[in-house]
Structure 1
Amino acid sequence: MKPRIHQVLFDFDGVLAHYRHEVRIAHLAAHARCEHEHVRTILFVSGLETEYDTGAIDTATYLRRLGEGVGAMIDAEAWIASRMAGSTAIDDVLARIATLHADVAMGVLTNNGALMTQAIPRIVAPLASKLEGRVLTSGGLQRRKPAPSTFAHALDVLGWSPATTLFVDDLFTNVQGARDAGLHAETVTDARSLGKAFKRYAFGPPSGW
């Protein structure tokens, strides 16, 4: 018998949107009027992005250090604009999600910094109203996937039960972490595999998958 699912928790990059790392860096470089490789060094080689993604530093500190490094003010809007430039919603995946029954709650759990709580609803605008208040980041939670404790904490924040929650991610290691935490979890890489995952479960009244 199929388990009855009432909530779906999505990974972001690779599931709801394609992420082009180099485009994001180029956008920041153009904003700061500096070399592409300099932005890469400040953000990634220095470990700044990792500090932010793990919640070791807050948003204000992250943006200040990024701006000082590239020699230009980087505020939240400039950062979000660069992330949006490097991210493209996967339309057929969003269309597949739209077939879910209206009573199915949705959220996002992503290994990214806290500013993604603002960027994600703008990148996947058709889902924004369904995700409101339910976009969780590793930076905000100060813990990362695939640790089972990350999923347990995320569900505590959301007020969801693992027994009625499906998690989907493009990386199996994260899927395994979710399963170890008691969630139903499936590996998803495109709309077709998402549709197959959905068909394994019961989501309220049938909605024409």
Structure 2
Amino acid sequence: MKPRIHQVLFDFDGVLAHYRHEVRIAHLAAHAGCEHEQVRTTLFVSGLEAEYDSGAIDTATYLRRLGEGLGATIDEDAWIASRIAASTALDDVLARIAALHADVTMGVLTNNGALMAQAIPRIVAPLAARIEGRVLTSGGMQRRKPAPSTFAHALDLLGWDAASTLFVDDLFTNVQGAREAGLHAETVTDGRSLGKALKRYVFGPQTGW
């Protein structure tokens, strides 16, 4: 018998949207009036982005240090705009998600900084209403996938039961972590693989999806 799923938790980059690293760097460089390499060094070579993604620093500190490194003010709006510019929603994936039973509750769990909780609903606008208030970031939780404790904490925050939750990620190591935490989990990279994964389960109060 197929497991019955009442909640689905999605990874973001690589599942719901395609992320173009260089586009984000170019967008920030244009905003700050600096070279691409200065953005790359400030964000990544320095370890600033990793600190923020892990929750070691708060948003205000992150944006201040980013601005200092680029020689320009980078506020929340400018940062979110750069992430939106670099991210393209995967329409075939969103279409399959939209077909899921209306009673299925959805959320996002991503290894990104806390500002992504604001950016993600705008990037995947057709899905925004179904994930409202349920976008969890590693920076916000101060925990990262694939640690099983990260998934357990996410379920506690959401009030979900592991046995009735499906987690979807493009990285198998994260899928393994979710399974260790008791969730159902599948590796998905596009609409076709998502469709195959969803057929292994029953969603909501009715059979099928």
Task: Indicate whether the TM-score tops 0.5.
Answer: yes
Q: How big is each residue's C-alpha offset from its partner over 1:61-89, in whole Å with a ceiling of 9 and x where there is no partner?
A: 00000001100000000000000000000
TM-score (norm 1): 0.98
Quick check: 1:35 aligned with 2:35? yes
Whichever residue aligns with residue 202 of structure 1, its letter is V
Whichever residue aligns with residue 114 of structure 2, its letter is A
Aligned match of 2:186: 186
Aligned match of 2:75: 75
Partners of 1:151 and 1:97 lie apart in 2 by 21
Partners of 1:89 and 1:69 lie apart in 2 by 30
Residue 121 of structure 1 aligns to a residue whose secondary structure is: helix
Query: Contact conserved, 1:76 with 1:115, CA < 8 A, in 2?
Result: yes
Partners of 1:135 and 1:175 lie apart in 2 by 18
Whichever residue aligns with residue 134 of structure 1, its letter is R
Whichever residue aligns with residue 8 of structure 2, its letter is V
Q: How big is each residue's C-alpha offset from its partner over 1:30-80, in whole Å with a ceiling of 9 and x where there is no partner?
A: 000000000000000000000000000000000000001100000000000
Quick check: 1:93 aligned with 2:72? no
Partners of 2:207 and 2:170 lie apart in 1 by 25
Aligned match of 2:168: 168
Partners of 2:168 and 2:197 lie apart in 1 by 8
Quick check: 1:118 aligned with 2:118? yes
Query: Contact conserved, 1:101 with 1:206, CA < 8 A, in 2?
Result: no
Partners of 2:202 and 2:12 lie apart in 1 by 23
CA positional deviation for 1:3: 1.1
Quick check: 1:136 aligned with 2:136? yes
What is the total number of aligned residue pairs between the two structures? 208
Aligned match of 1:60: 60
Q: How big is each residue's C-alpha offset from its partner over 1:115-155, in whole Å with a ceiling of 9 and x where there is no partner?
A: 00000000000000111000000000000000000000000
Aligned match of 1:45: 45
Aligned match of 1:25: 25
Give ranges in structure 1 of 5+ residues lacking alignment. none
Query: Contact conserved, 1:5 with 1:203, CA < 8 A, in 2?
Result: yes
TM-score (norm 2): 0.98
Whichever residue aligns with residue 49 of structure 1, its letter is E
Residue 117 of structure 1 aligns to a residue whose secondary structure is: helix
Residue 68 of structure 1 aligns to a residue whose secondary structure is: helix
Give ranges in structure 2 of 5+ residues lacking alignment. none
What is the percentage of aligned positions where both structures have the same residue?
A: 86
Whichever residue aligns with residue 48 of structure 1, its letter is L
Residue 189 of structure 1 aligns to a residue whose secondary structure is: coil
Aligned match of 2:104: 104
Q: How big is each residue's C-alpha offset from its partner over 1:171-194, in whole Å with a ceiling of 9 and x where there is no partner?
A: 000000000000000000000110
Whichever residue aligns with residue 3 of structure 2, its letter is P
CA positional deviation for 1:206: 4.5
Whichever residue aligns with residue 187 of structure 1, its letter is T
Partners of 1:183 and 1:96 lie apart in 2 by 21
